Chain A
Amino acid sequence: MNGSIKPTRIGIEGVFYSLAHAPDLVRFGSKPAREIAARPELGAALRSKLRSFSAAVAYAPHQVYIGNITPKELSGLPMPWYEKLIEGATAQGPFGDLVDQEWFYSMLRAADQFELVTLEEEWFNDRGPARRNGRKARLQPLDGIQGLCDKGALPLYSGARLTGAFGAGHAEDANLSADVLLENLAAKVSAAHALRSVLAGMRTDPSDIDYVISCSEEAVGDRYNRGGGNLAKAIAEEAGCENAGGSDTKAFCAGPLYAMVHGASLIQSGVCRKVAVVAGGSLAKLGMKFESHLKNGMPVLEDVLGSFAVVLGPPKDGEPCMRLDSAAFHPVRAGASPQAMAEFLAEKPLARLDMKLTDVDRYGVELHNPEITVPSGSGDVPLTNYRTLAALAVMRGQIQKNQMADFVKSRGMVGYAPTQGHIPSAIVYLGHALDALRRGEIKNVLLIAKGSLFLGRMTQLSDGCSFLVEMNGN
């Protein structure tokens, strides 16, 4: 490596991941909602294969997500993971947690400033004072809740019990319908929980955060401002970051890495001292592959809303940091093939730092859990990405063809993230990356995220972003 290159580093001060287990919201995912409307019998089939909270906690990929076991340990565990549950698993990990649906409903209610959430009074009162945080609860007896649902509110169930209703924000505006607002509020609540948690773990006062960037996948706005956004500000408010400004960074699944680069740039430029990058869960993606799971006799595995929060600050000696000078974006001219992605997001930016693909100890790519994707024919996404990187290393003469499998094994990992779009997209590995760097197991990690811009029907382009993570002082 060229010793004349002076790294530009930004400190990674903390990271937290959360999964909100929301089995009774799966029916409101985009795919289940459409399929159940077309074939109502699917509703009962789906409900029969929903998991309990304890099963979701003991699911090995979720334990990796919150940091209790490593991706390497997961690769050694027998499959199917949904049957081989982890005995004694806990909902808290070193850098994450799982929260249950009751908690999530109560947080939706507490974060609601527009009388969208109404809870069944007996159910609410039975939950005790712990559930009564935040704003005054809007309560109704069961027949009142049923009446709201009859008029178009979304029913909030706890198993077979109707426990609440989620209403629209406007009678005519499709952008403020109950299903859209439930998506948006779910993103806000789950992101705010991750932000509060990371700050609590760092013993940092929320008022110390200067700026919050949200890279969630919702589209907040009314009919004149569809996707207008700045959910970041709402998340900052909910997490008590009273001194923070904020804005959203959108780039499909590549959003989190762009948000990290933008946040690091705010610090490097001196505009901000402490920036939080956050994302809430994608309700639309719940149950996306539920039909395949039902067909294979599996539980519906897409029953969790993922979220994360990262706090960036000035670099500190001996602590992990981003290499801002390694940041790479997929340019318009690059083309959308996987090889072009690997060239522009790995080979070329590394070459700029006088590094080869083999100088990276670990690659964090899109770490979708294969147990979710393979039954539906979507393949093993991380494995495909690692093979592309290995093939490029062969083409450039950096490894021999017979070393590809070793490249994939030593520099890659098994996927473990729920199919929540932006959440699995490399950023999910940051917590484990920081641990591995601090333990000295690896000297660097290249995070690579891709975005499917073509889904919005504005361009045929793909997109992507990448950067290195390493210890400060190396």
Chain B
Amino acid sequence: MLSGKKIIAIGERDGVPGAVIAECLEGAGLEVVFQATECFV
């Protein structure tokens, strides 16, 4: 269902880092066009 979709992955410092989200989604066949980890405090 998600294969071929383009993804923006924003991770959070105390949660899941952006790079980890990107790796999981790329493994599922999605194209990650941007990924970053942010700190909201």
Known: A366-B41, A368-B41, A373-B40. A381 touches B14 (CB 8 A): yes
The verdict on B2 contacting chain A, using a C-beta distance below 8 Å, is: no
Known: A336-B19, A337-B20. A460 touches B14 (CB 8 A): no
Encode A404-424 as 1/0 by CB contact (under 8 A) with B. 000000000000000101001
Q: Are A452 and B39 in contact (CB under 8 A)?
A: yes
The verdict on A274 contacting chain B, using a C-beta distance below 8 Å, is: no
Separation of A450 and B12 alpha carbons in the complex (Å): 13
Q: Are B17 and A455 in contact (CB under 8 A)?
A: no
Known: A336-B19, A337-B20, A460-B19. A379 touches B14 (CB 8 A): yes
Encode A316-337 as 1/0 by CB contact (under 8 A) with B. 0000000000000000000011
The 5 closest A-B pairs by CB, nearest first: A452-B39, A378-B40, A336-B17, A384-B14, A368-B41
Q: Are B14 and A454 in contact (CB under 8 A)?
A: no
Residues B1-41 near A (CB distance < 8 A): 13-17, 19-20, 36-41
Could you say which residues of chain A place their CB within 8 Å of the CB of B40?
373, 376-378
User: Which of B19, B36, B39 has the most chain A CB atoms closer than 10 A to its own CB?
Assistant: B39
Binding site for B on A (CB under 8 A): 253, 336-338, 366, 368, 373, 376-379, 381, 384-385, 419, 421, 424, 450, 452, 454-455, 460, 462
CB distance from A326 to the nearest CB of B (A): 23
Interface pairs (10), CB distance under 8 Å = A336-B13, A336-B37, A338-B14, A366-B41, A373-B41, A384-B15, A419-B41, A452-B13, A452-B39, A460-B37
Separation of A462 and B16 alpha carbons in the complex (Å): 12
Separation of A322 and B39 alpha carbons in the complex (Å): 28
CB distance from A309 to the nearest CB of B (A): 23
Separation of A86 and B14 alpha carbons in the complex (Å): 31
Closest residue on chain A to residue B39 by CB atoms = A452
Separation of A359 and B19 alpha carbons in the complex (Å): 33
Separation of A241 and B36 alpha carbons in the complex (Å): 43
Could you say which residues of chain A place their CB within 8 Å of the CB of B17?
336-337, 460, 462
Could you say which residues of chain A place their CB within 8 Å of the CB of B38?
452, 455
Separation of A376 and B14 alpha carbons in the complex (Å): 15
Separation of A424 and B36 alpha carbons in the complex (Å): 24
Could you say which residues of chain A place their CB within 8 Å of the CB of B15?
338, 379, 384
Separation of A378 and B14 alpha carbons in the complex (Å): 10
Separation of A450 and B19 alpha carbons in the complex (Å): 18
Could you say which residues of chain B place their CB within 8 Å of the CB of A381?
14, 41
Known: A379-B14, A385-B14, A460-B19. A454 touches B41 (CB 8 A): no
CB distance from B23 to the nearest CB of A (A): 11
Separation of A424 and B41 alpha carbons in the complex (Å): 10
Could you say which residues of chain B place their CB within 8 Å of the CB of A373?
40-41
Could you say which residues of chain A place their CB within 8 Å of the CB of B39?
253, 452, 454-455
Closest residue on chain B to residue A377 by CB atoms = B40
Could you say which residues of chain B place their CB within 8 Å of the CB of A462?
13, 17, 37
CB distance from A340 to the nearest CB of B (A): 10
Could you say which residues of chain A place their CB within 8 Å of the CB of B20?
337
Q: Are B41 and A378 in contact (CB under 8 A)?
A: yes
Q: Are A450 and B13 in contact (CB under 8 A)?
A: yes
CB distance from B18 to the nearest CB of A (A): 8
Closest residue on chain B to residue A420 by CB atoms = B41
